[in-house]
């Protein structure tokens, strides 16, 4: 039995570790976040992380971080902070978001979206026995859209690279965003029919 299989057979432990890692990454001081990131990265490598699907998710989220970290610096400078202070604030945000990204990518690497949704709902079932399945369904839809968006973004990027390589970067980003949103909006009806067809809109499908 591989380490990945062993972890996947204990989904509640995986969810708990990832949840605690995300909370810690956001609330702990930066001096504690940095070693926590190294520990998590080392653990991910030991358990088979950084393979192709892991890298795709992590790199996609890293692009989001690359957009927000400079904005954090800009907001700090606009509010009167010095360049050094603004840079440290941007670095602080980037490191925290990257650790959260790594935790989320590891979760998707170890468990299927359906398994994540079901286990998350069962964890909160004691607090909301009548509506826990709504959380499970919402998580499943969110994760399925995330995977669809990642696939669509990759496909649109390859198309623009082949057919519109001379366009400026801001124009490519605008076209990419519009194309991805259009593709995802077309899938809304398909997902609604899939939920109804598989009878996922009720507690029986989620262990109720």
For 89-109, write each residue's pLDDT tens digit: 888 888 888 888 777 777 777
What are the φ and ψ backbone dihedral angles of 29, each rounded to 5 degrees? -65, 160
77-93 burial: b if 16+ Cβ within 10 Å, else e: beeeeeeeebbebbeeb
Using a pLDDT cut of 70, give the percent of the chain over it.
86
Calculate the CA dihedral of residues 16, 18, 23, 29 and round it to 10 degrees.
120
Is the pLDDT at 72 greater than 60? The verdict is yes
User: For the residues 43-50, what does the mean pLDDT come to?
Assistant: 60
Residue 143, SS3 per DSSP: helix
Residue 133: band (very low, low, confident or very high) from pLDDT cuts 50, 70, 90:
confident
Mean of per-residue pLDDT scores for the chain: 78
pLDDT per residue as tens digits for the range 15-45:
888 888 888 888 888 888 888 878 777 766 6
What are the φ and ψ backbone dihedral angles of 7, each rounded to 5 degrees? -65, -40
Q: Give whichever of 106-110, 131-135, 173-177 has the largest mean pLDDT.
A: 131-135
């Amino acid at each position: 039995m591989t380490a990945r299989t062993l972890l996947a057979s204990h989904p509640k432990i995986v969810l708990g570790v990832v949840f605690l890692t995300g909370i810690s990454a956001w609330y702990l001081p930066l001096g504690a976040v940095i070693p926590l990131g190294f520990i998590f990265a080392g653990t991910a490598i030991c358990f088979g992380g950084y393979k192709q699907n892991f890298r795709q998710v992590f790199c996609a989220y890293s692009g989001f971080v690359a957009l927000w970290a400079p904005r954090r610096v800009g907001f700090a400078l606009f509010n009167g902070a010095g360049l050094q202070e603004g840079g440290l604030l941007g670095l602080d945000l980037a490191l925290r978001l990257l650790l959260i990204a790594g935790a989320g990518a590891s979760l998707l690497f170890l468990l299927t979206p359906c398994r994540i949704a079901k286990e998350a709902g069962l964890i909160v079932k004691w607090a909301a026995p009548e509506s826990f399945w709504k959380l499970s369904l919402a998580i499943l839809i969110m994760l399925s859209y995330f995977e669809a968006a990642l696939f669509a973004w990759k496909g649109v990027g390859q198309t623009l690279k082949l057919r519109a390589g001379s366009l400026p970067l801001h124009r490519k980003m605008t076209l990419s965003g519009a194309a991805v949103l259009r593709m995802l909006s077309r899938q809304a009806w398909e997902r609604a029919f899939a939920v109804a067809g598989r009878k996922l809109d009720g507690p029986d499908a989620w262990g109720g």
